[in-house]
Amino acid sequence: MQVTYWAEHAWLGTHVEPGVAIEATDGRITAVRTDVPAPPPGATALRGLTLPGLANAHSHAFHRALRGRTQVGSGTFWTWRDVMYGVADRLTPDSYFALARATYAEMALAGITCVGEFHYLHHGPGGTPYADPNAMGEALIAAAAEAGIRITLLDTAYLSSGFGEPPNHHQTRFSDGTADAWAERAAALKPAGHARIGAAVHSVRAVPADQLTTVADWAKEREAPLHVHLSEQTAENDACLAAHGRTPTRLLADHGVLGPRTSAVHATHLTDEDIALLGGAASTICMCPTTERDLADGIGPAVTLQRAGSPLSLGSDSHAVIDLLEEARAMELDERLRSRTRGHWTAAALLRAATEDGHASLGWADAGRIEPGALADLTTVALDSVRTAGPAPRHGAETAVFAATGADIRHTVVGGRHVVRDGVHQLVPDVPRALADSIAALSG
């Protein structure tokens, strides 16, 4: 299939170019032509600023059902977790498909073309495997297909509730018992045109140290992405030091988990040695500012980590909001509050975290750029909304990052397919209703 899109303005990685024709065949960009003042015959016009598709590098789809519930009152990360378990307890493959389909459609409306799904809800109540042991993961892959976006299913090893502790009654649905059993089940997952399979260590508290290497080797053998929650809470650091006499980062390094295909999620509370280990391994850091501030986790040392050698990506994690532009903006603005200085990243650097580096962290190194050979995944931001009107188009990158929101996404194209057109999802007719219905089905 051959298609041509004409971008009124396009961000080409370093600057905004007016009048850009983007030609694609079978889902890949074949030509990018500049100085095209009007749509060529047969081309679809994308009015506004067109960016590469956005990559949401860290998602827990079922957390979307928590929005508005966990913000009531105060509490901590740990009390939030109890509410999260209540939702997880009620999910089935069918209800998870419905919720994920709606959540991924919301992502498409926000310009997200690829999601990294950190998936650990594997089994039925009490830990009994489904007839298809990967029924829940397959539901997520199918949901992404119906929502029209790409997915990297990061199948997650989650074996214990803490250092030396068995899973609690909620976590039995997450656990395969051993890393070897996890590896055997995960090996049965198959990629698809829109889906790739990766691995994850839930955290150092959830995978015993002597089983970390099994997960790391599984990913290494397949050259697959490997993600891990890292040092989100100081309590995890303290428990790891008590159990192993070393930080979580050092524990991961000692068991071969770090490396350029590894992404550490959050990485909030780190020592100088931790930062050097992560940067020296060229491990990506996935920052999730809207979740980190919602849960009062803290502000991670993203500037220092990037200087040490770690690329940065972004994720919406618990989906307090689904808005990658807000994640990019928040990373810079949170750092400004902490340091009381401005300008830690340019708008272009923040967009790279939301596009090219996010895709690379999910195993899609062929996405996140508007250039021949790249996947034809595009996102167009309106430049005429109440938030974005006024600035000259040449400042479109700054406008997108520092003023626009997910509500300003006008078009989303995935593999050349026009998934969101003029703000309307073309595959899921009523996304708000789909969200409301799928969440209501989990009420308890």
Residues forming the active site: 266, 317
Pairwise CA distance, residues 22 & 18, whole Å: 12
Q: How many CA atoms lie within 13 A of 384 on its CB side?
A: 7
CB hemisphere CA count around 433 (13 angstroms): 4
Four-residue CA torsion sign, 142, 148, 150, 151? negative
Identity of the residue numbered 117 = E
Single-letter code of the amino acid located at 372:
P
- Separation between Cα atoms, residue 115 and residue 224, nearest integer Å: 15
Residues 374, 28 contacting (CB under 8 angstroms): yes
Q: Which two tokens stand for residue 71?
A: 């913000």
Look up residue 366 and give its two tokens. 């062929």
Q: How far apart are CA 391 and CA 368, in angstroms?
A: 25
Report the chain's terminal Cα–Cα distance, integer Å.
46
Token pair for 258: 């770090």
Closest CA to 17 of 323, 290, 394, 281: 394
Pair type for strands 2-11 and 150-157 = unpaired
Q: Who contacts 144 (Cβ-Cβ below 8 Å, separation ≥6)?
A: 100, 104, 115, 117, 150, 151, 194, 195
